[in-house]
A and B are shown apart, each in its own frame.
Chain A
Amino acid sequence: MDLESLLPTLLGLAWLLPLASFALILFAGPRLGDHGKGAAGVATAAIVGSFVLSLLALVSWVAEHPVHAVAHDDHGGAHASADGSADGSADGSADGSADGSADGSAGSPDSHDAPSSHGSESAHQTVDEGAGHVGQPVSYSGDWYTLYEGGRLRLTIGWYVDALTVLMFVMITFIATCIHVYASGYMHDELHDITDHEVHLADGSHLHRPGRFHRFFQALSLFCFSMLGIVIAGNLAMVFIFWELVGICSWFLIGFYYERKSASNAANKAFIVNRIGDFGMLIGLMALWGALGTLHFADSTGLDGHARLGLFSLVRPPEAGHAQWVPDGMVKFAAAEKVKAVLRSHPEDPRAGVEQVEAKVEDWRDEGYGRWLLLVAGLGIFCGCIGKSAQFPLFVWLPDAMEGPTPVSALVHSATMVAAGVYLVGRFYPVLTPDALLVIAYVGAITLFIAATIALVANDIKRVLAYSTVSQLGYMMLALGVGGWLAGLFHLVTHAFFKSLLFLCSGSVIHACHTNDMRKMGGLAKVMPWTSGTMLVGCLAIIGAGVPFLDIGLSGYYSKDSILAQALLFARENPSHSILFYAVAGGAMLTAFYMFRLWFMTFAGQPRDHHVHEHAHESPPVMVYPLVALSVLAVVAGWTLPGGFGIANMIDQARPAGTGGTELGGLLFRAFTVPAEHASHAPDIHVTASLTAFATAASGVLLAAAMYVWRVIPPAAVAAAAKPLYTFLANRWYFDEIYRFLFVLPVLGMSRLVSATDTGVIDKFIEGLAWGAKQVAGFDAWLDRTFIDGFVNGTANATWHAGLELKKLQTGQLRQYVMFIALGTVAIFVLAGLLLHSSFAG
């Protein structure tokens, strides 16, 4: 099998396996083993299967497209052209067989790689010519099933697979596997009836309920399916569908302990806040769909055999060397008035009018028509990412989401789902204008700073990690915004490993201590050696520990350095935006401080609460193994092997065509430059960035050690000295209160008003109507009883009395009857005789 048909098969199966597991647990959940214990096995088997399939896909990918040290040199171009010819032959065979099975059932080869559709020759030429600098990424795309096709509009279930997709699959399935294994140990309480001590019933007792072990794994499987669906999606409509599906899974899982008021509130909050972002996303989708008529990433071929350009080639046409421009559709959409005027000036010959419109598009584009539309499309999609990736101002849901079980926090709310927003920005990168990127960068900077400051004073171990997650997501967004496409996505992958590791470690601690409060912990390193060791690895990874000049470090070192380098480059190119660099550097120090504050408070020093300390114990092996596996990856995920193989270089294979270069912006802001990413590898930038990273991280760690280990600076004194600031941070910048005041209370007030209107006016009106109807009915009833019933009853009465009288005739006297018969007969004869007689006589 060639890669073209192999990848969709492998990844499609890997995608559907968790769905099968979900369906099985849904229908047979409680019957799977003792108390649904088998559900964990089913879900784990499915995700392990997905992981194996993803690994196979990775291996076959690497075999076909070897990962080189620097992908944007001439090698990349050579690969693109070699791949192009291979695609050509694949395309021929695909066309032959696609005629018969046109409807695109799963795995059928009606797929078309981006450059292999109609008119592909010119595209190939451009790729080969421009390969020296802007390599065409190797990607495969196609459709499994066409939902709708009519006119130029087309909706499909399809795939878009490139190096990033494959890598995300491996990353997601690997972490999900670890977390499934971990959760089968962590959730064992749910295997029998449990008493929830956090729920107080009306009679003062605690809630007693059956365990929901299988339900947990059911939602987890559905989540894996949905998350993989986002990654493999070939068009934005499909992304949106799975976007919402992961949202609902998140809702299920945050609200897993839904009897707790806090959990159900947190679940609702997450869901509602995400809807706000999704509203923006819908606007972006509508802008694209309305103006361009497609949501496909890559070029595709419809059922009618016509090629349709995808978003990528519309916004960055291969003929123009993948330089970004406003597509014709958007120009015409924005200049609708002018188009109408032109068409109206040719009433006799519509075709000439259309031709003239086509001829004028170029002028209109130069005049700037459609630029705003493209910006709105990009920012709209980014709005969805703001909600899902918990960016300012919608980040408030993520810390509350920690009400869910810890494995969920590790998988959904740190490693995968919240990273989906970053992933989508990365995937959608070619369509984002420089102005949109700058907005993204600022949003990321604000987010990372706010979240990092809140994490400084949080005492709940999971909340520290949650704010750390928000902050790191801000890092990724900022990196993407300042042109660091690779840096942002690289950090996404490395962060997924060490943040899921950190969450699982915190889960292990919570499992042992039965509390989230770090003030009750301390000195746990002795009783929990594995947990503390792996957590230390995680902390070192997240602060980017490494040796600057040898260029060796944990995974976070590489990704964070590249973000810093890119931010520094951006700041040098655009001095007016140098605050972005300071945000990154300052954030790095804050990260180091709060992460090691967490570690020191939890594991180092003397136990603060002896009751907690005495009961603490190392977690069972089923929970420790995933920690070890993840910590290994947290160390090595950033490494590049001598041959050039490494996650960073592999991601770079998927770099969208045309985005490696310098971009100029200036629609929203004063003119600025988005620098090319490879320029950040320049020695002066790189070394400065490394040293900055090292210095900030080291100072953060030292400060944390000074405050929490050596006790040189007592934390309480610091808090007292900066009391207003401490209160401000401890209250999380009053975001919840502000939102409550600005949005929740007005909405509640309005609903109360509406409710009062409902009960006071509408209900009164309805009740009045009902009263009137009742009166009319009463009159009707009187009429009925008096006249109609009277008539009926009277008739019955008369009949009754007539019967009573008539019955007197029935004497029972036999002889009398005979007499009647005889006399009656005679009477009849006499009457008949008289009548006949008179008639004869007459």
Chain B
Amino acid sequence: MMGLVLAPAMVASLATCLATVPLFAVNPFTEPVGVVHYLFVGAVLFTAGIACMTLKRNALGILMGIELVLNGANINFVAFASPYLRAEGAPTLGLDGQVVALFVILLAAAEAAVALAITLNFYNNHATVDVDRADDLKG
């Protein structure tokens, strides 16, 4: 069930990202691996995360989508900060990207703890983790 939903999400996101390829000035598939390729992977992950959050009704699935979004961003940070992926003499960010990535991981863990606690509570009250049932804040 999960795979059934996730797969089209992944496909859709990949397709979306591929659709942006003509916007680039060079062909990524013929270029050596550089920052753009990492960004591409990050974008796929990010889009997949968004799709997951949007489409899944299971609270745990939504949490997974959040992890995907965060890690998509993390890849971008790390890619921009990596010394191997830039030209000689280009201005550097030093280790900032890695530090922020670690920070994001930390925050993701904390957020997951809180979110899981909320989910558990919700389950205790409603005997389900279906977020569509969690519409008490409806206007």
Contact = CB atoms under 8 A, between A and B. Distances in A.
Interface in B37-81: 50, 53-57, 62
A808 interface: yes
A396 to B, nearest CB: 93
Interface in A13-46: none
B139 A810 contact: yes
Given A814-B62, A814-B134, A809 B139 contact: yes
B101 to A, nearest CB: 22
A795 interface: no
A819 to B, nearest CB: 5
A815 B59 CA distance: 10
A418 B137 CA distance: 96
Contact of A815 (B56, B136, B137, B139): B56
A811 interface: yes
A810 B56 contact: no
Interface of A is mostly: helix
Contacts of B53: 815, 818
Contacts of B137: 810, 812
A766 B120 CA distance: 79
Interface in A748-801: none
A382 B132 CA distance: 111
Query: Which of B54, B55, B62 is most buried by chain A, counting CB atoms within 10 A of its CB?
Result: B54
Contacts of A822: 50, 54
A838 interface: no
B19 to A, nearest CB: 13
A318 B62 CA distance: 126
A839 interface: no
Given A812-B134, A814-B62, A815-B131, A807 B139 contact: yes
A814 B138 contact: no
Contacts of B134: 812, 814
B135 interface: yes
A812 B135 contact: yes
A807 B135 CA distance: 13
Given A815-B131, A815-B132, A810 B138 contact: yes
Interface residues of A, number: 13
Interface string B8-19: 000000000000
Contacts of A815: 53-57, 62, 131-132
A743 to B, nearest CB: 88
A813 to B, nearest CB: 6
A818 B54 CA distance: 6
Interface in B84-111: none
Nearest to B137: A812
Contacts of A806: 139
A819 B54 contact: yes
A812 B50 contact: no
A812 B56 contact: no
Contacts of A818: 50, 53-54, 62
A822 B135 CA distance: 20
Interface in A443-478: none
B136 A812 contact: yes
Interface string B125-137: 0000001101111
B135 A813 contact: yes
Contacts of B131: 813-815
Nearest to A803: B139
Given A814-B62, A814-B131, A814-B134, A808 B139 contact: yes
Contact of B135 (A808, A811, A819): A811
Most B CB atoms within 10 A — which of A812, A813, A818, A822?
A818
A489 B138 CA distance: 109
A806 B138 CA distance: 11
A317 to B, nearest CB: 109
A801 to B, nearest CB: 14
Contacts of B139: 806-812
Of B62, B136, B138, most buried by chain A (CB within 10 Å of CB) is B138
Contacts of A812: 134-139
Interface centre among A807, A809, A810, A814 (most CB of B within 10 A): A814
Contacts of B50: 818, 822
B58 to A, nearest CB: 11
A811 B138 contact: yes
Contacts of A814: 62, 131-132, 134
Contacts of B56: 815
A819 B50 CA distance: 8
A752 B54 CA distance: 95
A818 B132 CA distance: 13
Contacts of A819: 54
Contacts of B57: 815
Contacts of A809: 139
A114 B47 CA distance: 122
A66 to B, nearest CB: 116
A810 B137 CA distance: 8
Nearest to A820: B54
Nearest to A816: B54
Interface in A814-842: 814-815, 818-819, 822
A374 B109 CA distance: 117
B119 to A, nearest CB: 12
Contacts of B54: 815, 818-819, 822
A814 B135 CA distance: 8
B10 to A, nearest CB: 16
A809 B135 CA distance: 12
Interface in A346-372: none
Nearest to B135: A812
Interface in A661-709: none
Contacts of A807: 139
A190 B86 CA distance: 117
A800 to B, nearest CB: 14
A806 B139 CA distance: 8
A367 B33 CA distance: 143
A194 to B, nearest CB: 81
A202 B137 CA distance: 74
A812 B132 CA distance: 8
B62 to A, nearest CB: 7
A813 B59 CA distance: 12
B85 to A, nearest CB: 25
Interface string A89-105: 00000000000000000
A813 B62 CA distance: 13
B98 to A, nearest CB: 26
Contacts of B55: 815
Nearest to A806: B139
A753 to B, nearest CB: 77
A809 B134 CA distance: 16
Contacts of B132: 813-815
A818 to B, nearest CB: 5
A266 B22 CA distance: 122
Interface in A94-151: none
Sorted nearest first, the 6 A-B pairs with minimum C-beta distance are A810-B139, A812-B135, A807-B139, A812-B138, A814-B131, A818-B53
Given A810-B138, A810-B139, A811-B135, 6 more contacts: A808-B139, A812-B135, A812-B139, A815-B56, A815-B132, A818-B54
13 contacts: A806-B139, A807-B139, A808-B139, A810-B137, A811-B138, A811-B139, A812-B138, A812-B139, A814-B132, A815-B53, A815-B131, A818-B50, A822-B54
